[in-house]
Structure 1
Amino acid sequence: MDTLVICIDRDNDLGEKAKVSSPIIGREENIKAAVALSIADPEDSDSNTIFGGVKVLDELRAKGLDAELITFAGDKKVGLTSDQKISQQLDDVLAKYHASNAIFISDGAEDETLLPIVQSRIKINSVKRIVIMQSSNLESTYYILKHAFNDPKISQTFFVPVGLAALIYSIFLLASYPEGAIIGILAAVGLYMLYRGFGDTVTVIWNKIKDDFHMGRLVIVTHTAALMVIVVAFVQGIVSVWQYYTQAGIWYHGLVPLTTVFIHSSVWWLVLAAIIVNFGRMMNMYLHGKFSLRQISSSFYAFSFGILFWGATTYILAFDPTIEGFQPSIVSGLQYFIYSIVIAIVIALAGIRISASPIRK
């Protein structure tokens, strides 16, 4: 056989509407299938595609070529499922008909997404698009948009932020506070974009939390406690900054001093959170008989960082006379900074010494 005339019904309208199974082989069988689909749904373009394939088949045979018309149908679940079905049907047909080339009959961009699959199995000499009483560009755009919105990844990325923004705006309008809608929308969309950006990481962490909860591990409690401590740390830092911000504004104090105030106020809470997390991990390993002194070194490192940040922020705040309540002299601030460096190095060396010790279970 010289040529196959291939028609594609990717979403299986032939099977769903006309109750015709595929592949459909031969001129007469394809005409019957196209007529049945036209009766079931006169607006479906797949019947026109098949009639277009019949016309191409007749032209080839009129030239004396040995050709055959075959229509492949996929599945209503357009995508992986439908493409696999069409691929399997195509392989079966090519094993029976050893054709040297093919002509691809298409009704638009959706069916043409199967071109790489067909080309990987047989040489395609021509692609003929059947367009009925409509703009080909418009039809292609329609199928591209339809395919995109049917893709869960694209639809979730597009519709969720828009829907979330509309919902938040309506809530603020209902509360007679439209000014707050912009803040709420930006915050919600920002959180959504962060989630999309770190989606895999969030999924891994969430699955780990569920496993720890169902296994009754202590780390679920210590991690929750650490999370609460982190919240307290941020609240403490924000409250400290807010006191100065409301007094004279950010431009009076400066962005760097206010950031330093935030770090100085929250650093020990963050250190405590790190120690709590490490404690939960140590207890979990102890209960499973895998505990070693090396696990304690993380707490030493966290404490060292805490001392360093506390000493550095104390010294920075000593230079700013507008920040009250953190006011050591510049000399005292420098002494605190030097002492913090020395103490942090000593504690870190102790942690390194412990982590280098032999493992004892």
Structure 2
Amino acid sequence: MSGFIVTQHGTDIVTTLVVCLDRTDDVGRKTGLRSPVVGWEAVRALVTDVGLADPEDSGVNSLLETLRVAQDLRDENEDVVVAVVSGDRESMVSADRAVAHQLDELVAEYDPDSAVVVIDSAEDERLVPIVESRMQVDSVDRVVVRQARDIESTYYLLKQFLADEELRQTVLVPIGLTLLVFPMLATLAGPAEGAAAITTVIGVFLLYKGFNIDELVTGLAHQARESLYSGQVSVVTYVVAAGLTFVGLFAGALGVSSLEHTAGVVVPAMQFAFDSVPWLVMAALTASAGRLLDEAISDEPIRSSYLSLPFIVVAVGLAVRGFSAYVLEQQGVIDPFVVPAAEFGALSNESFVVTAGERLALFVVTAIVISLIGARVASSVSENGPDEEPDGSAESDTGTEPDAALRPQSELTDGGPTEPPADGSDSSRADGHNE
């Protein structure tokens, strides 16, 4: 038969069957061949057929492993029979019976002393007892494909992840700190408190990364360093503005603490705004003034946004102050505003009380007027930019004469402009030629 290995049996030569098991008949489905396939050349040709049909099939590796094992045994002076046995596609019972029938044919044909079984899956491993029931099995070679696509991709992704320093610091460091800190917190404060603390820290870290706060802090530090090196006035004003902001927050907190037991959060919030807004407005004005001075000192023209910013800050401060005062006066926290009596010589007036609505209207109207003034100032400055010189200004400034091409031909002679002759004769005879 074609494809079989012809062996000569001697008294001291052992015949070994190297068989590759395929329970689901993948080889038959992809190549159309019927099993068993026996012989070195037949199996080697089968490797090519299976590889061309499905290069990603692990059965190719099983067939190659079968050939390798057979070659090693043949180098040890053993008679080797190489075979591929496949099952049936109908059911598992019929597949096992088909494998048993093919093994009986091989035993009857070659009478092997032992067998080496090559498999590549747990499904094929269920056929090993069938082989053991018919001959001695010396070894079961399980083929594991090292470069499986999913495993290999996961490996290289993990390797690339561990090679990236930023990713390691972002992911591994928080996980490591969590694993170290949680047992201590659970021991000292309890599991619930430890889990709450860890969750809070992780949440703050995620928000820190999500809002790019690290980039904002880095940008502010870089800007502060550049401002210090360049000697900008805004560095000092920013420090003063930060101090005024701290004072404003402290004043608002004091105002809230002075309140008696008040239900809700509206009145404390309005009290905080009423006491802190003047300081916060002064802080904003100081910072904007420093920035405006830097723009004025530099060679570039002042942008209109820096001119309108102080007016907008004052307008917003007046509006917030007015609304907070209205709420506090309605709740009886602050007293109504009283205009004192004044005497101007023979004229005198009596003091009168400004109601809460009148005070709010006064603040709102003043804020709107100030914002309009700021917009007008910014627009006027942007319109009154550096004047351009009109056409021909170079001629008026330098006092030079017009272009020679525009001068009369008589003025282009060596003698300059030609004057009429003293005797009153025609100027055309000035060269001494008579008609």
| TM-score calculated relative to the size of structure 2 | 0.43
Name the larger-Rg structure.
2
* Amino acid in structure 2 at the alignment position of 1:299: P
Match in the other structure for 1:301: 312
Deviation at residue 337 of structure 1 after TM alignment = 0.6
Q: Which has the higher contact order (CA 8 A, sep 6+)?
A: 1
Picking from 348, 351, 359, the partner of 2:374 is 351
Match in the other structure for 1:237: 252
Instruction: Give ranges in structure 2 of 5+ residues lacking alignment.
Output: 1-43, 58-142, 338-352, 387-435
Measured against aligned partners, the alpha-carbon deviations of 1:62-89 in whole angstroms (never above 9, x if no partner) come to 5699x9xxxxxxxxxxxxxxxxxxxxxx
Match in the other structure for 2:237: 222
The answer on whether the counterparts of 1:168 and 1:181 sit within 8 Å (CA) in structure 2 is no
1:275 aligns with 2:285: yes
Match in the other structure for 1:50: none
Measured against aligned partners, the alpha-carbon deviations of 1:246-267 in whole angstroms (never above 9, x if no partner) come to x53xxx4311211111211211
Instruction: Give ranges in structure 1 of 5+ residues lacking alignment.
Output: 1-57, 68-101, 106-129
Compared CA separation, residues 191 and 132, structure 1 to 2 (3 A)? closer
Picking from 304, 316, 336, the partner of 2:359 is 336
For residues 62-81 of structure 1, the aligned pairs below 5 Å read: none
| TM-score calculated relative to the size of structure 1 | 0.50
Compared CA separation, residues 206 and 313, structure 1 to 2 (3 A)? same
* Amino acid in structure 2 at the alignment position of 1:320: Q
| Partners of 1:165 and 1:342 in 2: CA distance | 56
Deviation at residue 303 of structure 1 after TM alignment = 0.5
* Amino acid in structure 2 at the alignment position of 1:254: G
Deviation at residue 327 of structure 1 after TM alignment = 3.6
Compared CA separation, residues 221 and 59, structure 1 to 2 (3 A)? farther
Deviation at residue 353 of structure 1 after TM alignment = 1.2
Compared CA separation, residues 203 and 302, structure 1 to 2 (3 A)? same
| Partners of 1:317 and 1:287 in 2: CA distance | 44
| Partners of 2:283 and 2:166 in 1: CA distance | 36
Match in the other structure for 1:284: 294
For residues 54-133 of structure 1, the aligned pairs below 5 Å read: none
Deviation at residue 224 of structure 1 after TM alignment = 2.2
* Amino acid in structure 1 at the alignment position of 2:251: Q
Compared CA separation, residues 138 and 104, structure 1 to 2 (3 A)? closer
| Partners of 2:166 and 2:237 in 1: CA distance | 35
* Amino acid in structure 1 at the alignment position of 2:323: A
Measured against aligned partners, the alpha-carbon deviations of 1:105-162 in whole angstroms (never above 9, x if no partner) come to 9xxxxxxxxxxxxxxxxxxxxxxxx9579x9989977766665455445444445556
Match in the other structure for 1:203: 218
Match in the other structure for 2:393: none
The answer on whether the counterparts of 1:293 and 1:360 sit within 8 Å (CA) in structure 2 is no
Picking from 199, 212, 219, the partner of 2:227 is 212
The answer on whether the counterparts of 1:275 and 1:302 sit within 8 Å (CA) in structure 2 is yes
| Partners of 1:206 and 1:148 in 2: CA distance | 30
Identity of aligned residues (%): 25
If each structure's helix is expressed as a fraction of its own residues, which one has the higher value?
1
| Partners of 2:355 and 2:45 in 1: CA distance | 97
* Amino acid in structure 2 at the alignment position of 1:282: L
RMSD: 4.8
| Partners of 2:50 and 2:197 in 1: CA distance | 72
